[in-house]
């Protein structure tokens, strides 16, 4: 009798063990399947500068959608680009290969306002005095002519002024950018400071001319009118300043 009970108990335990193994295996398979289920993430394929809107980054091909297993998906990864987040901007630079995290995009970038440089252009910042920046009338979006005054070659007593760049787009004045939020509009527009920094967008070749002018001469800005005929390279010096010109007087 005892032998039968022992044999029955052994059989029951064996069956129970087999059932537990099957249940564990099924659970492990389920967990493995869940962790390998692909989920959507966005990654940077090119550098995404701070201040770049999410939708712009997508249109320019700076980011792309990809699929990764659930277990490889980083916490907080950006899931989709929709009307609710398309206008948000990168709060800091995002390097190629990085996963895009939702927390890296907000209404404004971290630290300072974003400046959007037109495609193919270079941004150059220069400091101007009140007069040489046309008072407080130059604002982001203005077009200015930039003049440069230097000593005449071979005669330090004669100064020469020329039109360095005839038509330049201003993209920021102080902390006031052309695109993005204004960090301190009152300070940028008040003209209370004796000098102000303006940032302009120029072609790569003109950027060399402008930087050289900043380093070697005295820079002055003139606000352009719609039909102003400003000729780049036009020059005048102390010896001919009183001569009549062909322009309107």
Class of domain 38-106: alpha beta
Tokens of 240: 């001919």
pLDDT of 137 strictly over 50: yes
Number of H helices, E strands in the chain: 4, 11
Q: Tell me the average pLDDT of the chain.
A: 75
Threshold 0.75, pTM exceeds: no
Burial class from Cβ neighbours inside 10 Å (0-12, 13-18, 19+) for residue 231 reads exposed
Band of pLDDT at residue 208, cut at 50, 70 and 90 = very high
> What average pLDDT does range 199-219 have in this prediction?
92
Percent of the chain with pLDDT over 90: 18
Task: Measure Cα distances from 197 to 129, 130, 138, 166, 192 in Å.
Answer: 9, 11, 11, 19, 13
Residue 156: per-residue pLDDT: 73
Residue 178: per-residue pLDDT: 43
Domain boundary assignment for the chain: 38-106, 122-237
Going 202 to 204 to 205 to 210, the CA torsion angle's sign is: positive
């Amino acid at each position: 009798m005892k032998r039968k009970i022992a044999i029955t108990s052994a059989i029951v335990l064996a069956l129970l063990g087999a059932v537990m193994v099957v249940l564990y295996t099924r659970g492990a398979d389920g967990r493995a399947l869940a962790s390998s289920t692909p989920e959507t993430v966005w990654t940077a394929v090119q550098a995404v500068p701070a201040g770049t809107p999410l939708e712009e980054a997508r249109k320019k091909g700076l980011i792309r959608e990809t699929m990764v297993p659930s277990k490889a998906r980083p916490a907080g990864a950006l899931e989709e680009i929709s009307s609710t987040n398309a206008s948000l901007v990168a709060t800091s630079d995002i390097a190629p290969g990085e996963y895009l995290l939702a927390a890296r995009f907000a209404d404004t970038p971290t630290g300072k306002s974003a400046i959007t440089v037109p495609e193919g252009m270079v941004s150059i910042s220069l400091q101007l005095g009140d007069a040489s920046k046309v008072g407080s009338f130059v604002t982001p979006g203005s077009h200015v002519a930039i003049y440069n005054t230097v000593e005449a070659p071979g005669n330090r007593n004669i100064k020469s002024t020329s039109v360095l760049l005839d038509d330049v787009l201003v993209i920021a004045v102080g902390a006031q950018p052309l695109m993005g939020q204004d960090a301190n509009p009152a300070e940028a527009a008040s003209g209370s400071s004796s000098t102000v920094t303006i940032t302009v967008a120029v072609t790569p070749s003109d950027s060399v001319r402008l930087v050289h002018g900043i380093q070697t001469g005295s820079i002055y800005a003139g606000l352009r009118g719609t039909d102003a005929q400003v000729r780049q390279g036009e020059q005048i010096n102390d010896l001919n300043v009183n001569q009549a010109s062909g322009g309107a007087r």
